[in-house]
Structure 1
Amino acid sequence: MTDDYLVRVGTLIRDARRHKKLTQSELAEALQTSQSAVARIEQGKQNLSLETLARISEALDTEVVAVASSTPLNLRIEGGRKLSGEIDVRTSKNAAVACLCAALLNKGKTTLRNLARIEEVNRITEVLTSIGVKTRWLPDSSDLEIVPPAQFDLDAMDETAARRTRTILMFLGPLLHQFDRFKLPNAGGCDLGSRTVEPHLHALQAFGLDVVASHGYYEAKVDSSVRPRKPIILTERGDTVTENALFAAALYDGETVIRNASPNYMVQDLCFMLEKFGVRIEGIGTTTLRVHGVPEIDVDVEYHPSEDPIEAMTLLAAAVVTESEITIRRVPIEFMEIELTLLEGMGMKYSLGEEYVSDNGKTRLVDLTTQPGPLEAPKDKIHPMPFPGLNIDNLPFFAVIAAYANGATTLHDWVYENRAIYLTELTALGVRVQLMDPHRVLIEGPTRWRSAEVMSPPALRPAVVILLAMLAAPGVSVLRNIYVIDRGYEQLDTRLNKLGANIQTFRDI
């Protein structure tokens, strides 16, 4: 068994043992082994034979390996506990997927350092591996090594993995340089309503790409004689749209001007990585990018994606609703300033340490310590805007913060028509939520929290918001089928437990 597989199996065994309410010593007695041996197994540090797996399955009354692929993972949360201590912000999910797609441009070896080991990354690496890319996690690290083949085998693509992530759409920009015709499965990921791909197609038309959506696929045709003759004006200041345009421009041997570009954190990370590839980019962090592409990229490169402002906001919201003092380290402050200003206006107090630089050498970080205290609802509605405004992915966290605050708060999620609806799931936990229309909710606080059992909604951030509300609610709550959370967060339950939470994973057997 590989080390990664042993860790996953060990986690399954631990979860099944806890579900059976057995201690490690009790399981060890049933297996006629030592408690330390069980501990090694659960930590993924012990090789396992089929015979051993069979004995463990019998002792736990479950098929350990079969459960992994067939039974959803759930969380059991004992709420009402204070948090304390320090926690690091992990590297960004959205920067990770952009950098993984950028590796398709490079004929050399790309090594991504301290990458977020999340399900979204797993799905993309499965797709990459299926088309001939060699990927491997370097020993005892979260560093991913990526080596491309001489030619991608798109016919062998793992469509199951591809359809589970919207990131597959970001293959359009890299692949248009390498094929006259190709097809990609329709994109999946979070269910956030109808999300048109038209802005992507409009941006890539300047490079000769024509796409028709048909029978579950994007059918792409490329006219390599077409090149940008004027600035590309993006019809949507979207992050992935900007990234696709950057992929296309990187291998165009000339200057491409991209206007109405997103200056958001993951786009900046992508630009910094492309610069390591030899691409020169002017205007990083602004809405106008001048990209001086190159005819070929064939270099061995390593890159450190920066920290995730959405995870930083998640941890901040956890501290607010549990009325806890914690120190959140490695906060990318440039991408949190509006959120913190809004919270200050609601009465939140916190302290910031001195700034320092992320491992990418660019992004500014600080350590932030929260101070518990009452909050008041804001006088104006809270709504997202393109960077440097309030991040669209941080808006849902204000729902659980508003539930804690005194007064009525209106959230306006004008981008996604489904996400506001998912926030109404908070009513099960005692939150007074009024759905005003598919884009707006009115939340009245403070909340008399109560425990509940809730099915995780099919959208990442609303699912985490429900988890945070369960941390605030006294008693035991259950959040079912948390795959969507694992798409964007690495071991969030384990890391919150280190701060004093009590979250247990289990599977229905």
Structure 2
Amino acid sequence: MDVIRIRGGKRLSGKIRISGAKNAALPILCATLLSEGESILRNVPALKDIETTSELLRVLGRRVALDAPVVRVGSSGEANPEAPYELVKQMRASIMVLGPLVARYGTARVSLPGGCQIGSRPVDQHLKGLEALGATIRLQGGYIHAECKRLRGAEVVFDMPTVTGTENLMMAAALAKGRTTLVNCAREPEVEELGRVLNKMGARVNGAGTDVIHIEGRDELDPFDHAIISDRIEAGTYMVAAAAAGGDVMIEGAPLEDLEAVVAKLRQAGVEVGREGECVRVRRDPDKPLKAVDVITAPHPGFPTDMQAQFMVLMCQARGTSRIVETIFENRFMHVPELRRMGCAIDVDGHTAHVHGGQPMSGAKVMATDLRASASLVIAGLTVTEGDTEVLRVYHLDRGYEFMERKLAALGADAERIKGQG
């Protein structure tokens, strides 16, 4: 396995461009199952999760030409509505083929999903919604079996907002007979993006990006050509990296309007963030101490759980004690022991972490435990002035960040990937 080695203490400066959003590209790739013909996705990031989804689509009977940033998906002639464990275990988002498969083919057999081990993320809301649309669901041998000759529109009320659940039901409803209303939906920009694509395909989706979505289903849908939105979490990660290391960074393609909660906390901590033309500029004088800021994660438009680990590293540089409360996942502080190895003073009490900032840090070998935790460890490595930091298990990082070490190096960081050393 590869290792990323960072020699910290360097200010960041320069300009980078944000890649396409992984969390938008994955459901849109799944949406290609809803139609015949060739669909084209543009601005797709070169990530492991994209490769995994492409291979899954091939197994399901699609023809996929992956040459990032462009992916072409067409029909290969024979459908296979079964998503095997060997692929689904690698990535939780694979569950999103369930809705399109049963809607298009009347049957689906999909393995229960895997992915980052950051807590229990049950699929009961997906199954409840498909049953409301008329599907018969069985769980057997670690697989979900869903059958329905033709889904029918219905009202589905989610017990809690769920991004992949909302997206799965949106895709299923796009081929259902009649009108479907989804209530208590996730409001993330990636959900809104999927709604735009489904409308391009001929469905009528209204309200995507709000908590109530209406979908008028169609007998068949058309292929599409669509450019993926920029990745707001990648943008937020580099904003925090610039703030933690100190410097002056221009970030091209950062969707500032989708990062209001993150930007507010950065400014509260004493970081300058502002729009300059097509870029977002992030500045912090490293000689000016950061202020401790409390954070509570929440569904969009609140502070994203996917930015919690990165922001925790920033608070390790702040003067005073900050409180970080994780409300989305019950096991998302796995990066804390690794940060402690580097000298961070962090106490965890249930869902709350108390970060005592300003402690001396040094480089160390640390182990990535999930996607966002791995990004936080890389950022931590940028901040230390004593010793090298080596981040192991960076396959987690490669699931969601396109060439992170290269982008940081372009900003002046001393970061490199060492092949096969972990």
- Tell me how far 1:225 sits from its aligned partner: 5.7
> Does structure 1 retain, via aligned residues, the 8 Å contact 2:21–2:45?
yes
> Does structure 2 retain, via aligned residues, the 8 Å contact 1:190–1:460?
yes
Secondary structure in 2 matching 1:424: helix
User: Which residue number corresponds to residue 472 of structure 1?
Assistant: 383
Aligned pairs for 1:400-439 within 5 A: 400-437=313-350, 439=351
Q: Which moved more, 1:481-490 or 1:289-298?
A: 289-298
- Tell me how far 1:181 sits from its aligned partner: 3.7
Distance change (3 Å), C-alpha of 1:131 and 1:228: closer
> Does structure 2 retain, via aligned residues, the 8 Å contact 1:350–1:371?
no
Aligned pairs for 1:79-90 within 5 A: 79-90=8-19
1:413-444 per-residue CA deviation (whole Å, 9 max, x = no partner) reads 1221111233232101111011112x221111
In 1, Cα distance between equivalents of 2:204 and 2:99: 17
In structure 2, give the amino acid aligned to 1:243. E
User: Which residue number corresponds to residue 107 of structure 1?
Assistant: 36
Q: Which of these residues, 239, 249, 264, is aligned with residue 341 of structure 1?
A: 264
In structure 2, give the amino acid aligned to 1:152. A
Q: Which of these residues, 103, 121, 132, is aligned with residue 50 of structure 2?
A: 121
- Measured on the aligned residues, the alpha-carbon RMSD in Å equals 1.8
In 1, Cα distance between equivalents of 2:403 and 2:180: 40
In 1, Cα distance between equivalents of 2:266 and 2:402: 26
User: Which residue number corresponds to residue 76 of structure 2?
Assistant: 149
Is 2:391 aligned against 1:462?
no
In structure 2, give the amino acid aligned to 1:430. G
Is 2:205 aligned against 1:265?
no
> Does structure 2 retain, via aligned residues, the 8 Å contact 1:206–1:226?
no
Q: Which of these residues, 394, 398, 405, is aligned with residue 482 of structure 1?
A: 394
* Identity across the alignment (%): 28
User: Which residue number corresponds to residue 202 of structure 1?
Assistant: 128
In 1, Cα distance between equivalents of 2:128 and 2:281: 41
Secondary structure in 2 matching 1:450: coil
In 2, Cα distance between equivalents of 1:73 and 1:287: 41
User: Which residue number corresponds to residue 204 of structure 2?
Assistant: 280
Which runs of 5 or more structure 2 residues have no equivalent in the other structure?
none
In 2, Cα distance between equivalents of 1:465 and 1:296: 44
> Does structure 1 retain, via aligned residues, the 8 Å contact 2:320–2:358?
yes
In 1, Cα distance between equivalents of 2:355 and 2:381: 17
Answer 1 or 2: which has greater helix percent.
1
> Does structure 1 retain, via aligned residues, the 8 Å contact 2:246–2:283?
no
TM-score, structure 2 length as denominator? Answer: 0.94
1:397-417 per-residue CA deviation (whole Å, 9 max, x = no partner) reads 220111111111111112211
- Tell me how far 1:154 sits from its aligned partner: 3.8
Which runs of 5 or more structure 1 residues have no equivalent in the other structure?
1-71, 357-365
User: Which residue number corresponds to residue 234 of structure 1?
Assistant: 158
Greater relative CO (CA pairs within 8 A, separation 6+): 2
> Does structure 1 retain, via aligned residues, the 8 Å contact 2:344–2:359?
yes
In structure 1, give the amino acid aligned to 2:253. R
In structure 2, give the amino acid aligned to 1:467. V
- Tell me how far 1:221 sits from its aligned partner: 3.0
Secondary structure in 2 matching 1:451: coil
Secondary structure in 1 matching 2:254: strand
Q: Which of these residues, 82, 89, 113, is aligned with residue 163 of structure 1?
A: 89
User: Which residue number corresponds to residue 23 of structure 1?
Assistant: none
User: Which residue number corresponds to residue 73 of structure 1?
Assistant: 2
User: Which residue number corresponds to residue 192 of structure 1?
Assistant: 118
In 2, Cα distance between equivalents of 1:209 and 1:383: 37
Is 2:298 aligned against 1:375?
no
> Does structure 2 retain, via aligned residues, the 8 Å contact 1:399–1:411?
yes
- Tell me how far 1:315 sits from its aligned partner: 0.2
In 1, Cα distance between equivalents of 2:341 and 2:29: 38
User: Which residue number corresponds to residue 5 of structure 1?
Assistant: none
In structure 2, give the amino acid aligned to 1:488. G
- Tell me how far 1:326 sits from its aligned partner: 0.7
In structure 1, give the amino acid aligned to 2:413. A
TM-score, structure 1 length as denominator? Answer: 0.79
Is 2:29 aligned against 1:96?
no
> Does structure 2 retain, via aligned residues, the 8 Å contact 1:407–1:445?
yes
1:216-244 per-residue CA deviation (whole Å, 9 max, x = no partner) reads 222x2323366234x21111211101101
In structure 2, give the amino acid aligned to 1:248. A
> Does structure 1 retain, via aligned residues, the 8 Å contact 2:362–2:384?
yes
Is 2:174 aligned against 1:174?
no
Which contiguous aligned blocks of 4+ residues in structure 1 show a shift greater than 4 angstroms? none
Secondary structure in 2 matching 1:249: helix
Q: Which of these residues, 432, 441, 446, is aligned with residue 358 of structure 2?
A: 446
> Does structure 2 retain, via aligned residues, the 8 Å contact 1:348–1:374?
no
User: Which residue number corresponds to residue 26 of structure 1?
Assistant: none
In 2, Cα distance between equivalents of 1:121 and 1:261: 25
In structure 1, give the amino acid aligned to 2:263. L
Secondary structure in 2 matching 1:227: coil
1:340-383 per-residue CA deviation (whole Å, 9 max, x = no partner) reads 112222222233224x6xxxxxxxxx5333233422112xx411
Is 2:149 aligned against 1:224?
yes
In 1, Cα distance between equivalents of 2:332 and 2:79: 36
In structure 2, give the amino acid aligned to 1:492. M
Aligned length: 418
In structure 2, give the amino acid aligned to 1:489. Y
Secondary structure in 1 matching 2:27: helix
In 2, Cα distance between equivalents of 1:193 and 1:369: 32
Is 2:249 aligned against 1:323?
no
In 2, Cα distance between equivalents of 1:181 and 1:441: 45
